[in-house]
Amino acid sequence: MLHRYPRRVAIIMLALTLCVAVFPLWGPAVFGDQVDFIQEKLTLMVILALFTMSLDLLVGIVGLVSLGHALFFGVGAYTLALASPEYSAASLWWMLPLVIAVAAITAFVVGLLVIRTKGIFFIMSTLAFGQMFFYLISTSQFAGGTDGLFIMFRPSVTFGETTLLDLSNPQTFFYFCLGLLIVGYLFMRWLTRSYFGQVLDGIHDNEHRMQALGYATSGYKLVAFVIAGVLAAIAGMLAAMQYGFANPVQLGWHTSGEVLMMLILGGIGTIFGPILGAFAYEILLYVYEHLTVHWPILMGLTIIASVLVLPRGIAGLIIAPPWNRKKTPVAKEQAAESVIPPNSIQHNEG
């Protein structure tokens, strides 16, 4: 489903990336003395984009709707907070592998249990596991309870005696996050186009057929669950660095719901859509918060409207603009949704 997009997708994404990347050049002219604040927001959006993209691997690519993805976001944040020394900076060289390892193990254990369930059961059990961790963390002394934990120093990136990246510098940190997002995006593109990704795509279309073809679909789903968990944990680690603390709210079910909203707003199953969705959601949130204290109403109505009117999200608008919807592959795909699609896997097996 996600193999060929019109060229305008690449053009738009490149233009937007460039716009964000050179923000320090044009930001001060547009936002004046608010530029630091905007850059902070922008960094957060980049982090959330990575988070949303990781969820897309589950929801969009494999078709597993998880309502507990914030669990892994929280795992990343808390691993950083708990493993950081109190009065000095940790080294990223071992912090990053540690976060990845902890997230992978957590995702493997949770995945083993939830992969056994299907459809709505999967939604509910992921939600319940997310809440389990939420209560575990918010009642634990070692994790600071409901207050959470502070992170006094961002990890250092040194080689020998020289500092390669000074992450405590907001601008450097911004580029660090942007770099990770781009790496994450390229990784996801590579993953979805690989043999593994095609099997996932096949599972999304028709899991029984894949089983009949001899694929151990549970194994594939579990690996996808672990990868998504690790990516989310990296985003969680970055978010904790950005905020300077890890808080139970970050792994509550409202966070899981929000990231799902960013995903649907951007367009599921497209990898680039989630990035747009995260940005759009945060911008909307910012605007609504300034309009009224009752902004959740506006946000709620926006979600309802986007579900009803724009089920394929912003990405759907770009791939198939309303004015030439007939000619695009997406329209064809929608029409063929009820029919079993031609088997794209076998071509790659030979």
Q: Which is nearer to other proteins, 85 or 145 (CB)?
A: 145
Q: Which is nearer to other proteins, 285 or 320 (CB)?
A: 285
Span of 76-84, 132-140, 205-213, 232-240 interacting with other proteins by CB under 8 A: 132-140
* 157 φ/ψ angles, rounded to the nearest 5 degrees: -120, 95
Query: CB 233 → other proteins: shortest distance, Å?
Result: 20
Binding residue for other proteins, selected from 14, 15, 105, 128, defined by CB under 8 A? 128
| DSSP secondary structure of 255-283 | HHHHHHHHHHHH-TT-SHHHHHHHHHHHH
Span of 4-12, 130-138, 206-214, 240-248 interacting with other proteins by CB under 8 A: 130-138
Binding mask 236-265 for other proteins (x = CB under 8 A): -----------------x---x--xx--x-
Q: Which is nearer to other proteins, 287 or 307 (CB)?
A: 307
Contact 154, 95 (CB under 8 A): no
Binding residue for other proteins, selected from 18, 19, 105, 116, defined by CB under 8 A? 116
CA dist 73 → 37, 67, 69, 122, 317 (Å): 23, 13, 7, 19, 29
Binding residue for other proteins, selected from 89, 95, 123, 167, defined by CB under 8 A? 123
Query: CB 267 → other proteins: shortest distance, Å?
Result: 12
Residues 6 or more apart in contact with residue 307 via CB below 8 angstroms: 264
Which of 178, 5, 151, 159 lies closest to 89 in space, CA to CA? Answer: 151
Footprint (CB under 8 A) of other proteins, residues 72-101: none
CB neighbours (10 Å) of residue 266?
A: 30
Contact 139, 132 (CB under 8 A): no
Span of 89-97, 115-123, 176-184, 198-206 interacting with other proteins by CB under 8 A: 115-123
Q: 69 exposed, middle or buried (CB, 10 Å; 0-12, 13-18, 19+)? A: buried
Query: CB 148 → other proteins: shortest distance, Å?
Result: 17
Q: Which is nearer to other proteins, 25 or 120 (CB)?
A: 120
Binding mask 40-59 for other proteins (x = CB under 8 A): -------------------x
Footprint (CB under 8 A) of other proteins, residues 133-192: 135-136, 139
Span of 109-117, 145-153, 172-180, 213-221 interacting with other proteins by CB under 8 A: 109-117
Query: CB 199 → other proteins: shortest distance, Å?
Result: 21
Please state the separation of Cα 177 from the chain's center in Å: 13
Binding mask 285-324 for other proteins (x = CB under 8 A): ---------x-xx-xxxxxx--xx--x-------------
Which of 240, 217, 223 lies closest to 51 in space, CA to CA? Answer: 240
Contact 253, 131 (CB under 8 A): yes
* 65 φ/ψ angles, rounded to the nearest 5 degrees: -80, 105
| DSSP secondary structure of 316-344 | HHHHS-GGGGGGSHHHHHHHTTTSPPP--
Which of 210, 312, 307 lies closest to 270 in space, CA to CA? Answer: 312
- Site for other proteins contains 339 (CB under 8 A): no
Contact 246, 78 (CB under 8 A): yes
Q: Which residues bind other proteins (CB under 8 A)?
A: 59, 65, 67, 113-114, 116-117, 119-121, 123-125, 127-129, 131-132, 135-136, 139, 253, 257, 260-261, 264, 268, 294, 296-297, 299-304, 307-308, 311
